[in-house]
Amino acid sequence: MIRVFQVKCAYENEVEAQLIKKLHIKKEDLLGYTIHRRSVDARHQKVLFSYVIDCSLKNEKKVLKHKDVQPCPDETYHFVSSGTRIMNTRPVVVGFGPAGMFASLILAEAGYQPIVVERGSMVSLRKEKVDTFWQTGKLDPECNVQFGEGGAGAFSDGKLTTRSKDSRARKVLEELVDFGAKEDILIDAHPHIGTDAFLKIIENCRKKIIDLGGTFYFDTCLKDIKTKQNKLAEIKINDTWIPCENMILTIGHSATDTIRMLHQNGVMMENKPYAIGVRIEHKQEYINRAMLKDYATDPRLIPARYQLTHTASNNKGVYTFCMCPGGYVIPSSSSKEKLVVNGMSYASRSGENANSALLVQVNEEDYGNELFAGLQYQEDLEIKAYHMAGDYKVCLQLAKDYLENKVSVRLDDVKPTYALGYQFVDLNELFDPAINQALHEALIVFEKRVPGFVSEGALLSAVESRSSSSVRIIRDHDLQSNIQGIYPGGEGAGYAGGIMTSAIDGIKCAESIICRYQKHDTMK
């Protein structure tokens, strides 16, 4: 089997002919092929798709010298072998976001029957609670866009982009397809799932883990831990203490109560740089025109995406992140009287607007070096934003008015998609001067690079404050914290950013337990 790069054609039904032409082989020499990766190449005069093809030929040696050909790598995921230590209690996974889902799945597939503890509700009930918040402003602090089965990725655009060549990435994508995602995610360079499709996938993942002997406790929060000789001994879930030797801690970046509890119990952690900013919203039709030019209506390419970066003169990195084509800006708070926005889209990505986070990096220079100073900075900003707009309305300003330091008085072409209403404010009063300076400079540069980026009615919604964790839980080469038996993983522990990297990190945590321990007696 060989892998052939850069097979270019305009339509998928031309792939075979192009492959034969590129390799200078006869049709009968091609024994079979599959598409490994598909990306768009619209840089030239016409739109082409660039394919990576895995194929078998009658005589593969003959073409191996071609610059775009290599032997096909083995990307199959192989389970690690079980270790020899005796396991006295079943492993517990705290948090069922992407990291917890894949940690639990791997443990279950390897026969380790995990116990899953999730503070939010099962995904169907969670959706009802999130809908209630979006319709009425009544927030459940235990079950919302950040907390509940599926984690923070459940109400998202479901972008699954990763540059990782790790076989675990392939494993994640294949499992997602098994749970109901479209097979396209296996080959697209920019795969995405969409909120509507993701909710079903989460449910199917849970069902498989239960079939393999896993146990779930929803609406159940890890409240406390007890250690003996620097090893985890017991955990308190809601009001009940249970013995626990091995706990994968995949709690995401919003469980600040849990983070503080762990710190009080001696779990070591440190501040970590993160980013804050706004969501910028445009008409998708404008983004299509600005990005695709002559191809703005080509059904193979729309809705268009974009990604922009700039380093401001005060050295602050500014970048667009988590762009949601045809998406919605969503109320994403998890605590009362704190305002947080984020973005999502449905599988069809057919909404009228495009939105993206527009973020500025922040670090100890902005908030000081005491532990949790970054977390406090984030929370203060969310409280300030809440009080500027009130009742979970979003703080809103036209981008061009932000640059002129004036409160907007009316909308332009772009209508906000945020469900709980808006209040015009001057965002220059929300952020510190260094953040405003960086955002101003970046918007001016982006307008030059992409004409209309500011001037075509772009809206800024604030505050986008939960793009990554402000602390990192320190772990060793076994992925254990300084308290043995605690395996911090995923985004909240500071080792991932996004659905794919969190899922991969969850798998690594599960492997660390499997390769050290035998299965618990009751599992054999």
Spatial CA neighbour of 467 closest among 257, 321, 335, 362? 321
Measured from the CB atom, the residue of 457 and 492 that comes closer to ligand FAD is: 492
Among 104, 113, 156, 436, interactor with ligand FAD by CB under 6 A: 156
* Contact pick of 100, 277, 374, 416 for ligand FAD (by CB under 6 A): 100
Provide the minimum distance between the beta carbon of 26 and ligand FAD in the complex, in angstroms, as a whole number: 43
Q: Does 151 bind ligand FAD (CB under 6 A)?
A: yes
- Near ligand FAD by CB under 6 A: residue from 2, 4, 40, 94: 94
96 touches ligand FAD by CB under 6 A: yes
Do the beta carbons of residue 514 and residue 107 sit within 8 Å?
yes
> Does position 492 bind ligand FAD by CB under 6 A?
yes
Please give the Cα distance from 347 to 181 (Å, whole number). Answer: 10
Is 157 a binder of ligand FAD (CB under 6 A)? Answer: yes
Tell me how far apart the alpha carbons of residues 23 and 64 are, in angstroms, rounded to a whole number.
10
Asked if 36 contacts 187 with a C-beta cutoff of 8 angstroms, the reply is: yes
Tell me, by CB under 6 A, how many residues bind ligand FAD.
43
- Does residue 378 interact with ligand FAD by CB under 6 A? no
Q: Is the dihedral of CA 504, 377, 396, 406 positive or negative?
A: negative
Residue 331 within binding range of ligand FAD, rule CB under 6 A: no
Please report whether residue 97 would count as binding ligand FAD according to CB under 6 A: yes
Kindly tell me which of 122 and 458 has the beta carbon lying closer to ligand FAD: 122
Distance CA 103, CA 98 (A): 8
CB 158 within 8 A of CB 499: yes
Strands 222-228 and 231-237: antiparallel
Please give the radius of gyration of the chain, using alpha carbons only, rounded to the nearest integer.
24
144 is a contact residue toward ligand FAD (CB under 6 A)? no
3-state secondary structure of 186: helix
For position 417 contacting ligand FAD by CB under 6 A, the verdict is no
Say how far residue 324 (Cα) sits from the centre of its chain: 12
Q: Taking CB under 6 A as the criterion, which residues in 13-42 touch ligand FAD?
A: none
> Token pair for residue 404?
């002129």
User: Phi, psi at residue 233, to the nearest 5°?
Assistant: -120, -45
- Candidate ranges 11-19, 117-125, 312-320, 370-378; the one touching ligand FAD (CB under 6 A): 117-125
Interface of this chain with ligand FAD, residues 462 to 491, rule: CB under 6 A: 490-491
Contacts with ligand FAD by CB under 6 A lie at 94-100, 117-120, 145, 147-148, 151-153, 155-159, 221-222, 250-252, 255, 258, 322, 330, 332, 342, 344, 490-492, 496-500, 502
